[in-house]
Structure 1
């Protein structure tokens, strides 16, 4: 069943763009997984397996990279990797955006170009997104 509204024609996205977005999505998942594996309990809480300054820096760099890559897809609307370049029809963008925000437990304010999220919300969003892919 299609998520597009009735009567909406889906445009075929550029294959190279789809490839870049898929590679970026894999990089996000990989970095989040590496972040979690660095913890003793492997849930992102408690103590790190390598609790030295180097270990902490490496572990936090994984989540930093995941958030930066996530931003390439979902924050920078005019960016090279933006999801809006892949989902072209306005109706499909609205359906996708509202569905993503609903899953993440967020709302979109009219007239606002940004949705502010705390670090814990971003991490929770990444966790939810990983289970969706």
Structure 2
């Protein structure tokens, strides 16, 4: 096998501080947007410029888009009481961000129903328990 792949290269040792620094930098690059038709018209509103976000910003009546596209991921949070139009609009917003912000075409979009959030998504919020 070594003949085919060659010898294992020397790898620099990492440290936990580098990981924490990278996590903080990636999280700060995120922004949170609300997708709502509460006014009778579909609106996209930026609710926070950088994380950590306050958990109370996530309102069950609406959908939210957490734009972390610079790091390769956009999250759609669907509030329990969000209607179908808001859910569809949130997906369109995420897809639009990828092209408008010139994110990589392989940017991932993760859809998270309220109550089924991933640990990575929760890291963007300062008071998630």
Output the TM-score relative to the length of structure 1: 0.26
Which has the higher Rg, Structure 1 or Structure 2? 2
Output the TM-score relative to the length of structure 2: 0.26
Larger % of strand: which? Answer: 2
Larger % of helix: which? Answer: 1
* Greater relative contact order structure (CA < 8 Å, 6+ sep): 1
